[in-house]
Amino acid sequence: MPKLLTNFCALILICQFTLLASANPLEVAKKRLKILVYSPTIGWSHMQFMGSIADTLVGAGHDVHIFRVSMNKRAEALPKEVFNVTNFHNFVPNFVQMGKFDINQMDNFKEPFDGKSFNTFLFQTNIIEQFAEQFDVVLAELYNQCPMALFHRIGVKTKIGTLALPLYQTVVRPFGIPTLSSYVTSLFTPMNGGHKMNFVERFVNFVNDLYDWLYLNNVMASYEEPVIVEAFGKNFPPLNQIMRNVSLLFTNSNQFFEMPRPISNKIINIGGIVEMKVKELEPGIKAIVDNSLDGTVIVSFGTFADINSMKREMKMAFLEAFAHFPNYEFIWKVELSDEDAKVFAKYKNVRPVKWMDQKSLLMHSKMRAFVSHCGFNSVNEAVQFGVPILAIPLLADQLYNAIMARVKGIAVQLEIGQLNGERAEQLLVDGLDKVLNDASYRQNVKLLKQKFVSTPFGAKEKLIRWVEFAAEFPDLNELNLPWEEELGTLAYYSVDTILSIAAILAIFAWILFKLAKFLATKYLVSVEKGGQKMKIN
């Protein structure tokens, strides 16, 4: 009997191990993918996003290689590049000229991303030979289409796009995703009303979208296509075809912290994938924060802006505004000249620092507000740590991010151009007073934080699952929406249907008119006959 019991227990254990082994077959038989991550050094936040993607895939057991292209001279302190591109245009506008990102600036802003800049490495045969047929998957930021052409040339079947910014028309157009100017405001020239624009804003937004559609897309293609043809020959597939065949697009967004716009199932939101790990604050910084009476405010305009170009009058407006809140400590990330250091020393509650651990500071329980340029990573961090924002956007997508934060009720927005005038100090005081003393901002950001953190299916899980799925099934064009070239202009915009309905309505109206005219005529004739009979009588 004991022997029978022993055998029975052994059988149960075998069954248990069998069930455990079969419970998650993906973990048992998952293929180790060789993945290439293409990461241009546009800025630190972009590199953080791509680095987090690489780290997550490494953590899932895959073999990941980073192909880094140097594009930003201000990123010299960042990790060493795998390949260095030296002929990029250094577009860093003067600080006081930022804030009004005119659409005409796009010609300058797109120069670092057009095809001419990429011929430096497209013609490097050693890169093609080194990478050819080696990778199962490539993930690349879609600020330019040329890299995808290169990866198509070296034989990578699964090409996945990434975007550290909110979606915009040039990126989503190849996937057939429409941009409706009635409520989708332009990323680089956003309207102040966000998705609730008045007539004038909708008119301007329509013109901007029309410019993007008719001009900007074609201009970018005119730069890129000749470079690709020269590098890979006339028989190479068109760029728009390569882009349409991109398997997926990962964005650094969360659906609860975005403005409404059409998307497709090809768009996967992985906002929050950048690690929020915090470290112990440096003793000096920790003492400042811990000892603050009413709390601490951090001030940072990111790594892209040149703070040294800020006018002295503007710096004084900030300092005087901060002095209106003596019970708060203001930690300002700024490099000072000797002369400026003497001025800053007079303001006891302002603490200039060359570098700050932004995440660790934002997580501190005494953090009350964040004066920010509204880079996308900075805004995401503020949301995830529940800190309201005084938004002072400078350029590019930052104005869009600031408007989005204001529309969500978590930020007060100021324009950098407003801080050049005599009312600069008062505007800053009023803005800080709202953010610090109006409880609605903190309540809104706390609620948004809860939604952000509690979003079903984590960013890392979605990234890993979808990358592995796309590696197995590279052709995911079922997820594309039909585009204009496929359906034809008349069918895509339902022009033929609208004209047909209009014609039917016109015919129906004509018939009604003729019928009414006939009945009216009959009625008038009968009335006249009746009148004549009365006269005869």
Domain match, 367 and 477 both: no
Q: Could you tell me if 240 and 221 are in contact, meaning their C-beta atoms sit under 8 angstroms apart?
A: yes
Domain match, 351 and 257 both: no
Residue 11 confidence (pLDDT): 30
Whether residue 150 lies inside any domain: the answer is yes
Is the pLDDT at 458 greater than 70, yes or no?
yes
pLDDT band for position 392 (cuts 50, 70, 90): very high
Domain boundary among 431, 454, 477: 454
Domain match, 196 and 308 both: no
Is the pLDDT at 325 greater than 60, yes or no?
yes
Q: Could you tell me if 58 and 496 are in contact, meaning their C-beta atoms sit under 8 angstroms apart?
A: no
pTM for this prediction: 0.80
Domain match, 397 and 449 both: yes
Is the pLDDT at 139 greater than 80, yes or no?
yes
End-to-end CA distance of the chain: 128
Query: Radius of gyration over alpha carbons of the chain, in Å?
Result: 30
Domain match, 76 and 172 both: yes
The pLDDT tens digits of the residues spanning 206-232 come to: 988 888 777 666 666 777 778 788 778
- The residue range of the domain holding 112 is 29-274+457-487
Residue closest to 45 by CA, chosen among 148, 207, 163:
163
Residue 355 confidence (pLDDT): 84
Phi, psi of 53 (to 5 degrees): -60, -45
Domain match, 60 and 71 both: yes
Give Cβ neighbours of residue 128 (< 8 Å, ≥ 6 apart).
150, 153, 154
The token duo for 196 is 């609730």
Domain match, 399 and 517 both: no
The pLDDT tens digits of the residues spanning 490-518 come to: 888 889 999 999 999 999 999 999 999 88
CA angle 481–485–491, rounded 5-degree value = 80
Q: Crossing angle of helices 115-122/146-153, nearest 10°?
A: 30
Residue 247 confidence (pLDDT): 92
Share of the chain above pLDDT 70, in %: 78
Whether residue 83 lies inside any domain: the answer is yes
The pLDDT tens digits of the residues spanning 99-128 come to: 444 444 444 444 444 445 555 555 555 666
Whether residue 472 lies inside any domain: the answer is yes
The backbone region for 99, taken as left when phi is positive above 0, alpha when psi lies in -120 to 50, beta otherwise, is left
The pLDDT tens digits of the residues spanning 178-211 come to: 888 889 888 888 888 888 899 999 999 898 888 8
Domain total in the chain: 3
CATH number for the domain that contains residue 253: 3.40.50.2000
Amino acid of residue 92: V
Whether residue 537 lies inside any domain: the answer is no
Phi, psi of 14 (to 5 degrees): -60, -45
Domain match, 92 and 234 both: yes
The pLDDT tens digits of the residues spanning 37-74 come to: 988 777 777 888 888 999 999 999 999 988 877 665 55
Whether residue 10 lies inside any domain: the answer is no
Whether residue 22 lies inside any domain: the answer is no
Domain match, 244 and 292 both: no
Domain boundary among 437, 454, 471: 454
Whether residue 185 lies inside any domain: the answer is yes
Is the pLDDT at 246 greater than 50, yes or no?
yes
Give Cβ neighbours of residue 44 (< 8 Å, ≥ 6 apart).
75, 78, 302, 303
pLDDT band for position 296 (cuts 50, 70, 90): very high
The pLDDT tens digits of the residues spanning 474-497 come to: 999 899 888 777 888 888 888 999
The token duo for 520 is 């009216």
Is the pLDDT at 22 greater than 60, yes or no?
no
Q: Indicate the Cα dihedral angle 112, 118, 119, 122, nearest 10°.
A: 180
Give the count of alpha carbons within 13 A of 219, CB side only: 13
Which DSSP category does 213 fall into?
I
Domain match, 248 and 327 both: no
Residue 439 confidence (pLDDT): 92
What is the mean predicted confidence (pLDDT) over 124-145? Answer: 76
Domain match, 122 and 68 both: yes
The token duo for 328 is 């708060």
Whether residue 11 lies inside any domain: the answer is no
Q: Indicate the average pLDDT of the chain.
A: 79
Domain match, 219 and 122 both: yes
